[in-house]
Amino acid sequence: MRLEDKILNVLGAVKVWGSLNGLRGLAYDSREVRKGDLFFCLRGSQTDGHLFAAEAVKRGACGVVVSKYLPEIKTFQAEVPDTRRALARAAACFYSYPSEKLEVVGVTGTNGKTTTTYLLESIFRANGERTGLISTVELRFDKVKKKIKHTTPESLDLQKILAEMVSFKVRKVAMEVSSHAIDQGRIEGVLFKALVFTNISRDHLDYHKTFGEYQRVKRSLFETHLQAFKIVNFDDNLGVRIASLGGKTITYGIKKKADVMASNLQLGPRGTRFDLIYNGKTIPVKLKLKGRFNVYNSLAAAGAAIVFGYDLEEIKEGLERLEFVPGRMEFISEAQDFFVVIDYAHTPDGLEKVLSDSRQLSSGRIILVFGCGGDRDKGKRPLMGKVAASLSDFTIITSDNPRSEAPEEIIDQIEKGFLLVRKNGYLKVTDRRQAIFKAIEMAQPGDLVLIAGKGHEDYQIFKDKTIHFSDREEARKALEAKKGFS
């Protein structure tokens, strides 16, 4: 069968104009169209691909896939109900369904996705597997290591990545699955062997509008991939509901009785110890990662590894090998007598967890630096202010990625929540660099400075520009400056 016919069979077109010939590739960005590409007109929050169809044809596209007929286009057109989902199906077909040649684990949830994929990758690698990782922080497999734009790439990019992994003889893949990717159908055409659910809390309501809709989208991943083994957090209410869907399921938790459990937790600044329990067997684990929430992430990874047949000794080795995850409870040390921690926590629940764990890691004060992103869920800003006021000793409210919003207005909205708890013990410092320097300047022996919100990111987005900015780099500069003046 011709490639053109294979693609036509999976598009789900409701109407077709003309004939599709000379197909060489697929594209969704008109600036990247090459001769023979089939161009998919995707609608986004900022623009509409239909506006660039003519440009794509001019660049050599052999046809366009649309959700509405474009009379000005004189080449092949296929009208489909949803161009984004049509692209996902076409991409999987074009790359010969690479996920069927791999064993893919998808990890979804509000918090813990990145760390869980890193832990799972570490288990696979410790046991000699050729492994791929697709995460918020990076894409990596074999000698390939690079950043990607989205937590879960657009479907065409994702299928290409999976095909490249197949060509490099990768066997197992640990990938994050975002709620945006689920809702937009980016993962349609991906065959998952296992799906992990970490937890749910308020996030992305600028996109999903309601918490109920956000939960529905997360749950739908498990409803539409019934062949996958489910690994779910049984201490989370949505996790319980996902487990009730039936099918092959492994539950994990600390509070409720579950298939995979942890007990005897010992949290400290050098790592975390706990007993890993499964199927009547118990094994002690010395995790280099810090914090109670990383015990949950370890249980999630362990549950997924059990699906692949690993025993507790093999799982323990992989968990203990992982040194750290970039921007996730990452300790920054320049031989100072206090702690500095970088963390990606950017939700009320995430901030609460990292602050609570920080209290157990330090004998001194908790000095918090954080802000909230612009053009995102405004309702969480005062909630995060309340968490900061309740759990930190001193807070510096600053800028995150303000995007098109005025950073001062975002800070004021955070402050309103803070003031509901207490009226003192905080500063507003708009410049994030100055905020970090101020926090480290204030720190005394035994204190812990937590710089939250951006984690691994090395940029800051403003209305008219994006600049290089790394919390990690700025913290080290501030530590050097403090050392120089001591």
Compute how many other C-beta atoms are within 10 angstroms of the C-beta atom of residue 144: 14
Residue 55: closest CA among 71, 78, 39: 39
Cβ–Cβ < 8 Å for 107, 176: yes
Helix locations, 225-309, DSSP H: 237-243, 292-307
Mean pLDDT of the chain: 94
What is the structure's pLDDT at 474? 97
What is the structure's pLDDT at 435? 98
What is the structure's pLDDT at 367? 98
What is the structure's pLDDT at 68? 94
Tokens at 307, concatenated: 């699906």
Give the Cα separation of 486 and 479 in Å (integer).
10
Give the Cα separation of 188 and 81 in Å (integer).
15
Residue 239: closest CA among 260, 218, 208, 211: 218
* 41 to 44, 81, 190, 307, 391: CA distances (angstroms): 10, 12, 21, 39, 47
pTM for the complete prediction? Answer: 0.92
Q: For CA atoms 202, 204, 208, 210, give the dihedral sign.
A: positive
What are the residues facing 64 on neighbouring strands?
A: 39, 77
* 371 to 137, 246, 414: CA distances (angstroms): 20, 40, 8
DSSP per residue over 72-114, as a string? T--SEEEE-S-HHHHHHHHHHHHTT-GGGGSEEEEEESSSSHH
Give the Cα separation of 401 and 405 in Å (integer).
9
What three-state secondary structure class fits 175? strand
Give the Cα separation of 194 and 10 in Å (integer).
25
Residues 6+ apart with CB under 8 A from 306: 250, 260, 278, 315
Exposed/middle/buried for residue 301 (C-beta within 10 Å: 0-12, 13-18, 19+): buried
Give the Cα separation of 354 and 96 in Å (integer).
43
Cβ–Cβ < 8 Å for 189, 87: no
What three-state secondary structure class fits 378? coil
Give the Cα separation of 125 and 167 in Å (integer).
18
Element (H, E) at 139: strand 139-141
Give the Cα separation of 439 and 366 in Å (integer).
10
Tokens at 335, concatenated: 């031989």
DSSP one-letter code for 324: -
Exposed/middle/buried for residue 244 (C-beta within 10 Å: 0-12, 13-18, 19+): exposed
Exposed/middle/buried for residue 424 (C-beta within 10 Å: 0-12, 13-18, 19+): exposed
* Cα 459 to chain centroid, rounded: 17
Cβ–Cβ < 8 Å for 241, 251: no
What is the structure's pLDDT at 149? 83
Instruction: Give 10-residue mean pLDDT values along the chain (486 residues).
Output: 93 95 96 96 86 96 96 95 96 98 97 96 96 95 88 94 97 95 93 97 76 91 94 96 94 96 93 97 97 96 97 98 94 93 94 93 94 94 97 97 96 98 97 98 96 95 95 96 73
What three-state secondary structure class fits 319? helix
What three-state secondary structure class fits 311? coil
Tokens at 413, concatenated: 């909205």
CA atoms within 13 A on the CB side of 309: 4
Taken in order of first residue, the domains within the chain and their CATH numbers are: 3-84 (3.40.1390.10), 98-321 (3.40.1190.10), 330-485 (3.90.190.20)
Cβ–Cβ < 8 Å for 327, 457: yes
Give the Cα separation of 277 and 262 in Å (integer).
6
* β pairing state of 103-108 and 194-197: parallel
Tokens at 322, concatenated: 């992982």
pLDDT digits (tens, 9 = 90+) for 346-379: 999 999 999 999 998 888 999 999 999 999 989 9
